[in-house]
Structure 1
Amino acid sequence: MRVQSVFPRLLAAGAAAILVAFVACTVPGPISQLPGSSRSASALSDSVDLIVASTTDVHGRIRAWDYFANATERTRGLSRAATIVDSLRNTAPGRVILLDAGDLLQGNPFAYTVRQESGKQPNAIVAAMNAMKYDAAAIGNHEFNYGVAYLDKAVSEARFPFLSDNTYRLDGSHAYKPWTIVERAGIKVGIIGATTPGVLVWDGENVRGKVTLGDIIPAVRQSVSEVKAAGAVVVVVTVHSGLDEPSSYDTVATGVPSENVAARIAREVPGIDLLLYGHSHREVRQLMIGNTLLVQPKNWATSVSVAHLTLARAGGKWSVVQKRADLVQAAGFVEKPEILAVTQRTHDATISVFTAPVGTTPVQWRSDSARLKDTPIVDFVLETEREATGADLASTAVFATDATFGPGPVTGAQMAKIYPYDNTLRVIRINGKQLRQYLDFSSRYYTGRITPRGTLETDSLIAGYNFDIVAGVDYTIDLNQPVGSRITRLVYKGKPVRDDDTFTFALTNYRQGGGGGYSMLTGSSVIKETGSIVPILLQEAVKRKGVIKQEDYFTQNWNIILPRAAR
C-alpha cells in the first residue's frame, strides 16, 4: 500500500515558497545582497550564513502515517521534514547542516516492525536518515529500549555518526563517538552529542554490564575543548535532555545525574554557539542563555528548527556575529518520494501486522476519562498483567486519553495505542507502607485545585503517564488532603491495609527502575522477570479470548474525592 500525499500540489508549492522566502529574509547583511549589487565579491566573502536544520524525538514517525488510526498523518512525519530540508539546501547550497537530538529508534508500530526485522532487513529508520543526509544525531534514551546490540547495529548502518560523549564502555572508553567535525563554506563546525543519564534508571537491565552513562556537563565541557583544539570555529551541541525540568527520578536515591540539563550546559559551559535539545517533547523557537542560542523543534517531526549562524571574517579569522532561529511546521509539505521508497517494505509490513484483527468486542472501550475514574479499558490492562504474572496487585498508567476501540474487530494497533511503549513486565514484593506511598505519590498529578473551566487542575510538570492506577486493592484519593495524606481508604480483600502487610506487585521495568520518581520502590526485591512486552501481552490476551467483554475485567476499586470547591 503506497501512501499518497493528501496535500494538493498548490498547497505544497505554497509551503515551499514560504520557506524559501523565510530563508531569504532571515539572512542578514552581505549574505542577503543579490547578484549585481554594489558590494564586491571580496566583501561578500568576508561574511557567511550557516544554517542548522534539526529534528528531535521522531520516535519512528518516519512517514506521514498514523499506524494507530491507519490513516494519513496530516501534520507531521520525517518524510515531510525531508522536503523542508531539501528546500533549505536548494536555497543555501553548501551551507546547511542537518542534526537530530535523539529518540529515533522506538515509539510507534513502524519502529517496532523495524526492530522485528533486525538481522533480516536494513534498519528502515536509519535508511531514511541516510537518504536525508543527516550530519549527526545524538543518542536518546529510547535508543537503548531494544538493547545495546540493537543500537550498535543501527549505528553501524548509519552514514552519519550517532553521538554521545557521556556514554562509556566498562573500560572507560567512549562507547560512541563523542563529537564530529563537518565543514561548510570552508568553516569547520564541531558537533557534540550527549544523552540523558536517566537511561541507567529506565533501561538499567539493558545497559548493565555493557555501557554506563555519566554526568552530561563535564563531558560536554571536555568535548568543547577537544573540538576547538581540532580546529572548530563554530561549536554546536545536540543533546537528548530537557531544558531544566525536574528529573523524573530521584537523583539522590538512584545516584544518577540530573535528567534535564540543557539550560545548565548553556550557563556552565562556555564556547557553545548553538544548542539543540529534546527529550521533553516541547517546542521552543529560540532562547538565548548567555551567548548560546537554544532551540527545540516539536517531537514526531512536527516541526523543523532552522537556526542561522552568521559569521564574519576579520584579520583572517572567522567568528559568529549573529544568531537567530525559527520553526518550520511540517504541515503542508509533501512527503519526499525517496523517503517513501526506502521505507515502503517496512511500511507495508507494519500495516499488515498491526491492522489485522486479533479478536472482537461487542461494545466500545474508551480512555477519555481514565485518569478521573475507574474504567474498563484500564482494568483490561491491569487484569491482563495480573493474569500473566499471578501477582496480587498490578499497576499501569493511562498513556493516551483518546484511545478507543470497538464495537467490532480489535487490532494490534489499538492495543499499541493503549500501551505504546515496549516496557517489560516484572513482579516485585512490596509492603503496605510502600503501597500507600506509591498511590499517594501518584496522586500528586492533581494539584487539588479547580480550573476556571471547572475541571480538575493537573501539575504541568508531571506527565500524565506518571499518574498510576492499581488493581487488586480498593482505595480512595481525597484531593482535599495534602500530598502525603491523600489515600484515605486502602483495603485489600475487605481488610484495611497495614504497613507491614506484603504483596506481590506487577509493574513495568520502567517504573520498578525508578522511572517517574517512584523512589519508594528502591530496593524492592524482584521475584519474577517475565520479559513480556506489555502491548504484545495485550494482543495475546485478546487472541486467547477471541471476544473480550468489559464485565470480564472491570471492577470498581478506586475513586477520587473532588476538592470541596467542585462540589
Structure 2
Amino acid sequence: MQQGLKKVTLGLVLGAASIANAATVDLRLMETTDIHMHLADYDYYSDKQSDSVGLSRVATLIKQARSEVTNSVLVDNGDLLQGNPLGDYVAKGRVLRFGETHPAYKAMNLLNYDVGNVGNHEFNYGLDFLMKSLAGANFPYISANVYADDGDANPDNDQPYFQPYLIKDKTVIDHEGKEQTIKIGYIGFVPPQIMTWDKDNLTGKVIAKDILETANKYVPEMKEKGADIIVAIPHSGMYSNRYEKGEENATYHLAKVEGIDAIMFGHSHRVFPGDKTLGSFEGVDSEKGTVFGIPATMPGFWGSHLGVIDLTLESTKDGGWQITDGSSAVRAIAKREGRKTIALVEADTSINNAVQAEHQGTLSYMRRKVGVSTSDINSFFALVQDDPSIQIVNNAQIWYTQNIVRGTSYEGIPILSAAAPFKAGGRGGPEYFTDVPKGDIALKNVSDLYIYPNDLKVVQLSGAQVIEWLERAAGQFNTIDPSMEGTQALVNSAFPTYNFDVIDGIDYKIDVTQPARYDSEGNIAYPDAHRIVDAMFNGRTLDPNQFFLVATNNYRSSGGGKFPALDGSTTVIDAPDKNRDVIANYLLSQQTINPSADSNWHFADFGDAKVSFTTSPKAKNLATSNMMYVGEDSAGFAVFELK
C-alpha cells in the first residue's frame, strides 16, 4: 500500500511541474559514513600509507562534487570515533581532555558539514567521552531513537538524549539565478542494539527505541513544523527480511515511511548503489539508486566512497517545495585491478595536516614492544583450519580467566575461550588479513590481532550450550554435497567472519555436508542438522551436562550475533579489562611466545567433493599438505582447493 502511495504522490508532483512560474532547484546531498577514525590515508596495522582509506581522500571527492553544482549539503552518518588505533589513542592513550577538539573534528570542521548522526560505535568509549568529543564539532548532531533513561517505566514522558531531528533553512539558487529558501529536515537513527553491545556504558543512562516507531512519530511532526523535504540518516543497513520490532537493519522498511524524501544510510559497510545483493531486493532500483522510489545511498566504510544524491525540486502553490526527480550514486577513492589498488584521487593535505599531532602520537604509541614471537602470525587460513592469530587470543583469555577466578567460587570449573578472525578478507579485500612477522611484537600488532575495544566477559554454560554456540558459528560454511561434480565454494561470504568463533579447550570437528543448523538471524533452521561432531574434552566425549566457563567479549556475551544462550543472562564475570589489554599483558608476561595453533578443530570428512576458498595472495607459498594453490581471482584473492 505504501509503495502505491509513493507512486501516486510522485505523479501529483510531476503534474505540479506544469504550474506557471514554478521555480526549479537542483540540490546535491553528500554523505560520508563509517569512517571509523580513518582520517588520514594511513594503515596503522601495516604501518604504512594507504590509497584505499581515509577521510583525507574523501575530502578531495567532496570538494570535487561540491564544485560541480550550485547547491549542496554534506552529512556524516556516524561510526566515526572508533575503529582503528588512532581512535584508541585519543580515547585511551593520551586521553582527550575537556575543551580539546577531537582530531575527527579538527578534520571535519574543515569540510563544512551540515549535520552529523550518531553511530553505534560512538558509544564504545562511554557517554562522557562521546559528549566531550561531540563538543568539538562545529556542526549539529542528531539521533532520534535514543532517550534518557528516567527509570519510571513510562514511555510517554521519555525525553530524547540527543536532538532527534533538525530543520535548517537552506538558501539555494534556482534555475533562473534567483535565491530561494528550502527547509531541509534531517532525522537520524541508530540500531537499538546499542543497549546490548554497550550495555556496561549505557544501562541506566539511556534507552534506545525502535527505528520505524520513532520515524512514524517524528516525520509527521517535522512536516507540521514546515520541513519541505526530509532526509533520513539511519545508521542502519538494508535487508529485505520481514520487519521485527527492534530491527537493527531497518533502511529497507524506512523507505516506506510516508514523508521521507531521501535516505543516506550506513552501518553494514556496503556500497549502494552498486551492491548486487541490495540491488536484487524487490522495490530497489540499483541503476537509479532508489528504494521504493526514494533516492538512497550508502558509501562503504573507512572513507572508501562518497555518497551522492541529486534531487530536483519544484516550488508549489502554497510556497513549499516538492521533489520531482532524484537519483543516487557513489564515488570511490580507489579501485582494485587484481591485487593492485589504484588510487583515483589524491589526499587533501589540509586534512592530514590537521591531525598530524595525533597521527604521530598514535605511531609512537603503537610501536611500543610488548613481546617476541618465534614465528609468523597470520590469519590467511583462519576460516579453514585452526589458526595462530586466534590461538594467541584464546590463550591470553584463558590465562587471564584462570587468574581472576583463583580463590573464587568459580575456581575449578573448566575454562574455555572463544575468539574469531576479525581480519579475514571479505569486503576488506585481499590485503585485509592479520599478518605479523616473527620477531618483536608491538602494540600495533595486538590491535591487528584484536581490532575492537571490547571488554572481556566470562559466561557459564553447559556442554550442550557450548555445542550450540559452535553450531551457530558453523554457519560460516556453505553446505557441501559430496556427490556433486565441479568445485564448491566452502565459505559462506555472507556470514561475518567475526561471528566464526573458535572455542579452545575442547576438540571438535565440523561436518559441512550437513546444512547449517541456524539461519542468519540465529533461529534454528534445520532441527535435525548437527555440524559439530566428535566433540571431546580432556580426551573424552564432551558431557552435555558438564559446566564450563567460557571467556569471550561483551558483544558476544550480551547477544551480539544472536547466538543461543548468550543474552547477558549467562554472564558470571564482568572483567574490568579489555580483550586487547588482556592480550598485551599476556604477551608481556610471556615475553617470548610460540604462536602455533593446537589444531583443536578440523573438518569432518566430506568425501571426494572438491571445495575451494579464497585468501591473501601472500599465502601462495604457505599452503599445507591438504591445500592446493589454484590461482588468483578477479578481485586479487588467492584461490585454493582443500583436499
TM class, shorter-length: 0.7 to 0.9
Q: Does 1:232 align with 2:255?
A: no
* Superposed CA offset, 1:448-494 (max 9, x none): 23799835433343211111000011111111223241111111112
AA at the equivalent of 2:107: A
Give the 5 Å matches for 1:373-522.
373-390=385-402, 392-401=415-424, 402-449=433-480, 454=487, 456-482=489-515, 483=517, 484-522=529-567
State which of 348, 371, 374 in structure 2 corresponds to 1:362. 374
Q: Counterparts of 1:69 and 1:307 in 2: how far apart (Å)?
A: 35
For the 8 Å contact 1:361–1:407, the answer to whether it is kept is: yes
What does residue 55 of structure 1 align with? 32
Q: Counterparts of 2:451 and 2:240 in 1: how far apart (Å)?
A: 23
Please report the TM-score for the alignment, with normalisation by the length of structure 1.
0.86
For the 8 Å contact 2:196–2:558, the answer to whether it is kept is: yes
Deviates more, 1:535-544 or 1:172-181: 535-544
Q: Counterparts of 2:534 and 2:368 in 1: how far apart (Å)?
A: 43
State which of 325, 328, 345 in structure 2 corresponds to 1:333. 345
Deviates more, 1:125-134 or 1:381-390: 125-134
Give the 5 Å matches for 1:181-196.
181-184=167-170, 185=172, 186-196=181-191
What does residue 269 of structure 2 align with? 281
Change in CA separation of 1:477 and 1:201 when aligned onto 2, cut-off 3 Å? same
State which of 298, 303, 306 in structure 1 corresponds to 2:305. 303
* Superposed CA offset, 1:388-442 (max 9, x none): 1116100000011321112222121122112100011111211111011111111
For the 8 Å contact 1:478–1:562, the answer to whether it is kept is: yes
For the 8 Å contact 2:468–2:564, the answer to whether it is kept is: no
For the 8 Å contact 2:465–2:564, the answer to whether it is kept is: no
Change in CA separation of 1:207 and 1:449 when aligned onto 2, cut-off 3 Å? same
Please report the TM-score for the alignment, with normalisation by the length of structure 2.
0.76
For the 8 Å contact 1:307–1:326, the answer to whether it is kept is: yes
What does residue 296 of structure 2 align with? 294
For the 8 Å contact 2:165–2:188, the answer to whether it is kept is: yes
What does residue 63 of structure 2 align with? 86
Partner SS for 1:550 = coil
Displacement of 1:246 after TM fit?
6.2
For the 8 Å contact 1:147–1:206, the answer to whether it is kept is: yes
Instruction: Say how many residue pairs are matched.
Output: 515
Q: Counterparts of 1:524 and 1:452 in 2: how far apart (Å)?
A: 46
Displacement of 1:263 after TM fit?
0.6
For the 8 Å contact 1:104–1:143, the answer to whether it is kept is: yes
Q: Counterparts of 2:558 and 2:357 in 1: how far apart (Å)?
A: 36
Q: Counterparts of 1:317 and 1:532 in 2: how far apart (Å)?
A: 55
Displacement of 1:524 after TM fit?
4.1
What does residue 283 of structure 2 align with? none
Partner SS for 1:529 = strand
AA at the equivalent of 2:40: R
For the 8 Å contact 1:272–1:291, the answer to whether it is kept is: no
Q: Counterparts of 1:348 and 1:479 in 2: how far apart (Å)?
A: 47
AA at the equivalent of 1:73: S
What does residue 124 of structure 2 align with? 145
Change in CA separation of 1:453 and 1:242 when aligned onto 2, cut-off 3 Å? farther
Q: Does 1:115 align with 2:91?
A: yes
Displacement of 1:156 after TM fit?
2.2
State which of 156, 167, 192 in structure 1 corresponds to 2:146. 167
Partner SS for 2:314 = strand
Q: Counterparts of 1:413 and 1:243 in 2: how far apart (Å)?
A: 33
Q: Counterparts of 1:534 and 1:381 in 2: how far apart (Å)?
A: 8
Give 5+ residue unaligned stretches, structure 2. 1-19, 151-157, 173-180, 274-287, 335-343, 403-413, 425-432, 518-528, 611-642
For the 8 Å contact 2:297–2:330, the answer to whether it is kept is: no
* Superposed CA offset, 1:501-523 (max 9, x none): 10111110100011011132236
Give 5+ residue unaligned stretches, structure 1. 1-41
For the 8 Å contact 1:246–1:260, the answer to whether it is kept is: no
Change in CA separation of 1:264 and 1:306 when aligned onto 2, cut-off 3 Å? same
Q: Counterparts of 2:575 and 2:314 in 1: how far apart (Å)?
A: 60
Q: Does 1:214 align with 2:209?
A: yes
What does residue 324 of structure 2 align with? 321
State which of 241, 255, 260 in structure 2 corresponds to 1:272. 260
AA at the equivalent of 1:513: S
Q: Counterparts of 2:393 and 2:96 in 1: how far apart (Å)?
A: 28
Displacement of 1:92 after TM fit?
2.8
What does residue 534 of structure 1 align with? 579
Displacement of 1:59 after TM fit?
0.7
Displacement of 1:107 after TM fit?
0.6
Displacement of 1:307 after TM fit?
0.9
Q: CA RMSD in A?
A: 2.2
Q: Counterparts of 1:428 and 1:72 in 2: how far apart (Å)?
A: 40
AA at the equivalent of 1:457: L
Q: Counterparts of 1:219 and 1:160 in 2: how far apart (Å)?
A: 23
Partner SS for 2:456 = strand
Give the 5 Å matches for 1:25-44.
none
Partner SS for 1:514 = coil
Displacement of 1:71 after TM fit?
0.9
Q: Counterparts of 1:493 and 1:412 in 2: how far apart (Å)?
A: 34
For the 8 Å contact 2:147–2:160, the answer to whether it is kept is: yes
Displacement of 1:55 after TM fit?
1.1
The structure richer in helix per residue is 1
State which of 544, 553, 556 in structure 1 corresponds to 2:599. 556
What does residue 11 of structure 1 align with? none
Q: Does 1:543 align with 2:588?
A: yes
* Superposed CA offset, 1:86-137 (max 9, x none): 22333334x2111122211111001111212222642111222222221112
For the 8 Å contact 2:389–2:434, the answer to whether it is kept is: no
Identity of aligned residues (%): 29
AA at the equivalent of 2:159: S
Partner SS for 1:400 = coil
Q: Does 1:64 align with 2:76?
A: no
* Superposed CA offset, 1:511-541 (max 9, x none): 0011011132236432222222122222222
Q: Counterparts of 2:223 and 2:502 in 1: how far apart (Å)?
A: 50
Q: Counterparts of 2:110 and 2:552 in 1: how far apart (Å)?
A: 39
